[in-house]
Amino acid sequence: MTGFSLSPRLAADSDFVTDWPLCQVRLMDDRRFPWLILVPRRAGLEEWNELTRADAHQLSEEIARAGEGLVQHFKPTKINVGALGNIVRQMHVHVIARFEADAAWPGPVWGQGTSLSYETEARERLCGELKARLDPSL
């Protein structure tokens, strides 16, 4: 993991939740959608096809784990998963809880409208709840 550092843009747009074996798990600061991002702690990584086979397996497990956590916590209609990176090239995977009444349904969340930040207290509380949900052994 030598040399990994989080892109300034991802750092500014999201908050730390927990570290998993491969990815740092972060909460996007947009209260319109319960929205996690998973950032593999691998320096210079941009594309799925650049993952080692072992990392590709681990990433898929961590996507499933994030999705399962969102399902349990928010009871959404659907989970959306996406790795785009057209703007921020550092590889990051979005795992988002979607609802039929949300601000972008049934379209994708990216590029839709304007994000709405959490209140500080609400954000800290949700990060704590998600950490407890996603790391149940802690």
* List of residues contacting a second copy (CB under 8 A): 46-49, 51, 53, 56-57, 59-61, 63-65, 67-68, 71, 77-87, 89, 98, 105-108, 110-111
**Closest CB to a second copy among residues 57, 125:** 57
Taking the complex as a whole, the smallest distance from the CB of residue 8 to a second copy amounts, in Å, to 18
How far apart are CB 18 and a second copy at their closest, in Å?
17
CB closer to a second copy out of 65 and 123 = 65
CB neighbour list of residue 104: distance below 8 Å, 6 or more residues apart? 32, 33, 98, 112, 113
**What is the smallest separation between the CB atom of 46 and a second copy, expressed in angstroms?**
8
Of 133, 18, 137, nearest to 67 by C-alpha is 133
Nearer to a second copy, 6 or 56 (CB): 56
Residue whose structure tokens are 């593999």: 40
- By beta-carbon proximity to a second copy, the closer residue of 104 and 118 is 104
Tokens for 72, please give them. 């349990």
Give 89-126 as a DSSP string.
-S--EEEEEE-TTSTTTTS-STT-S---PPPHHHHHHH
In this structure, what are the phi and psi dihedrals at residue 131, rounded to the nearest 5 degrees? -60, -45
- From the CB of 13, what's the least distance to a second copy, in Å? 15
